Amino acid sequence: MSADLREMVRFHRTRQGSGDERVAGTQPGLRSALLAPYRDLSQLRYDFPLVLVEGGTEGEFVRPLSGVVGSVLQEVAPPGINGERLRKHVLRLEATIRTLMADGAEGLLSEFWELAERELLSGSDEAVNERLEDSPGRAKAALRVDGEVVDCDEDVATRLLEHTWRAVHEEHRRRALEVIDALILKLSDILQANYLRSEEGRAPEQLRGAVGGRYADVFDFAAMSRLLKEALPGSVLPESRLRRIRSALSTLESQRFFGRAGDAAEEPDGEWPYSFLFESCTRALEAFRERLPEMLELLKAISIAELEIENQYRESKHDVFFARFDESSLVPADLELFPSYLVCLRDKDCDARERAEIFEVLSSGLPVKVLVEASDILGDPSLGDGRFSFGVKSLQLASMAVGLGSAYVLQSASSNLYQLRDRIVRGLTRQGPALFSVFSGSAENAPELPPYLTAATAMWSRTFPAFTYDPAAGEDWASRFSIEDNPQAEVDWPVQRFSYGDEDLQRVSEDLACTFVDFAAADRRYARHFSRVPRSSWNAGMVPASAYLVREAPARDEVPYILMVDEDDLLHRVVVDDKLIRAARHCSRIWRSLQELGGIHNSHARRTLEREREVWEQEKERELEELGRQPALEAGEAASAQAEGEGAAAEVVLEEAPETEQPAAGELYIETSRCTTCDECTEKNPRMFAYNEDKQAYIADPDAGTYRQLVEAAEACQVCIIHPGQPRNPDESGLAELIQRAEAFN
């Protein structure tokens, strides 16, 4: 072992060095090599910023800025060269808006649009402005939506959920008021009709007022009153019924859950109508309990009104029922009439009592939606038993909520919220409680990265994976639980293609896996767990962390590293200490548990498959034994007939079938027919190796992995059927050693 490698091994195992500067940790400005292409997000077109659409219908509560701009261009820019000038102008407007957002500006999309236009026109000369002609006006006229523009920051989850909830709440309020106003109108008609049949309603003065002053001198209202009384005998409603109708009407008119038609959805005083936005579960539960008597009265009023309108109220039966109607009489369908409660919390503000209240809410069945936004999912590395506490509270919160079985649960990083917008709407509109656990990405200890990249890396690295649990989606777990929104959900660590220039300025490409280590490398608190190694000290003992993590017993002279880049985009290898590797393995185990819940690599399914395979093999053995016990004559005749048939078939094959081509020397191939389905190769790289219909491995995509993975798969294969051939990428590092190892299998 060289002195450099010995020093790396010492750091990896003990985090101690001999005074070398590189042992002090990573330098400021370093980031994972996977994030190198994303220095300036304002120059990229992606999901953010988002436009919180005002007055949008379902599915249109939120739209990405790029999507809005795309719609504008589709409407106003002609295809081909004729629309190129306008397309360039509008795309420059979009880039300017992104830059303004990155500088901290806030406002509506229409305001940003005007500001961006002024900046572009003020920075152009007169000739350019003349060429633009009426482009700004045409583009703005095609802007069909408006709303607040938000970027991916520490408040984006709260603002997005509040905006979506308000839109859902307003639609719910509109439908409820339609029902209540219709009942009010019909009850009022009953009372008015009863009044007109009464003595007071037929009095001359009342008739004169009903006709109006214009015709007051034409009619004899005294005679009219006398004739009406004789022609239409009065039939006044019983006093008990009048009291019920008036009481129900008063309750419907004074209810504070929806206000009145035409009122704003929310009033500043929170009293008319009630407010349903809260900053703690404790206060939301208190408000629900305080309003419960009014809820019961409103439900009774609606039921009584419906019965009275249909003239179906029977005092002997219904008086007793409504007298006993209390909170124990409520059913889930009753709560569907009322708005849901939205509670927005920050993880750092949740004490033990608040967390207990969260679970009380989620297990209560009440229509309370809870958002918990986390900003620090790693925690202090000095705490814990060596596995770290990374996101323990945040991850446990959502996982425990799933265990309740009755609450809707969604966990995601803020970078993926737009992709999950339909699931968010589902959670807000579904009857019953819901939990939204979101990592904002706004970490104080990773200032070099924008929140969007931090959040995206958290999800890619499996540190904060996305999942959804919808108890109303079906009867089985496969219908209710989903992890499909995670990138490359079938593997432990997602893989991306990374290209760079080596010391000879030659382009080199390789697959890099995004692991928990890559996410932790951006946190300054974890700097001492990394050791930057100069290029002159790189050697074969350094193993990528993703490969090191899958080895049960790594060699003593191997150390894991990740690739990072500095502010000048220079590539560095950074050795990782053992404590962080243990944390990454713990993260991987949690992810594999989620995979099993999501139906990926399910151990129960594998055991069932193995049992069925054993049963099938035993049945085949019994069939062969039975054939062996047949009389010798029958066996001989059968063998003779079989031989004749095989001979004839062989002649046909020789005449019609072409000869099977043998793989050329140095070519990659696999003996599929000999595969024993051991999963060694498919687990190593499921994109390169796959199973056919007979559950036997074949080469699915020879370019989906590295030559190193091919050689390692050949070495791990139990029946030696993988033949790596020659490397397909001559620029891959360490080829001399790999070719020598592959000779035994070629």
Of 98-112, 129-143, 299-313, 469-483, where does mean pLDDT reach its minimum?
129-143
* Spatial CB neighbours of 537, under 8 Å, sequence gap ≥ 6: 4, 8
Per-residue pLDDT tens for 277-333? Answer: 999 998 999 999 999 999 999 999 999 999 999 989 999 999 999 999 888 888 888
Q: Are strands 495-501 and 507-513 parallel, antiparallel or unpaired?
A: antiparallel
pLDDT band at 740 (very low <50, low <70, confident <90, very high): confident
Label residue 249 by pLDDT band (50, 70, 90): very high
Give the start-end residues of each E strand in 425-529.
434-439, 467-469, 481-482, 495-501, 507-513
The answer for residues whose C-beta is within 8 angstroms of residue 247's C-beta and 6 or more apart is 301, 304
> Region 176-183: what's the mean pLDDT?
93
Phi and psi at residue 137, to the nearest 5°: -65, -40
Per-residue pLDDT, 200: 61
Per-residue pLDDT of 663-673, as tens digits, reads: 666 788 898 88
| CA-wise closest residue to 319 among 391, 240, 238, 389 | 240
The predicted structure's pLDDT at residue 368 = 94
User: pLDDT band for position 738 (50/70/90)?
Assistant: confident
C-alpha span between 746 and 741 (Å, rounded): 10
**Is residue 267 over pLDDT 50?**
no
Closest by Cα among 467, 471, 459, 472 to 484: 467
Nearest to 31 by CA among 565, 657, 598: 565
Q: Is residue 650 very low, low, confident or very high in pLDDT (cuts 50, 70, 90)?
A: very low
- Model confidence band, residue 265 (pLDDT cutoffs 50, 70, 90): very low
Q: What is the pLDDT of residue 64?
A: 93
Whole-angstrom distance, CA of residue 389 vs CA of residue 579? 12
**pLDDT reported for residue 166:** 92
Rounded average pLDDT over 44-58: 84
Query: Percent helix, strand and coil across the chain, each rounded to 5?
Result: 50, 10, 35
pLDDT value, residue 239:
87
pLDDT(268) > 50: no
- Each residue of 385-398: b (16+ CB within 10 Å) or e? eeebbbbebbbebb
pLDDT band at 216 (very low <50, low <70, confident <90, very high): low
pLDDT for residue 226 is more than 70: no
Q: What is the pLDDT of residues 378-400, one digit of tens each?
A: 877 665 444 444 445 556 788 88
Least confident of 324-338, 375-389, 677-691: 375-389
Highest mean pLDDT among 4-18, 30-44, 412-426, 667-681: 412-426
| Other C-beta atoms lying within 10 Å of the C-beta of residue 204 | 15
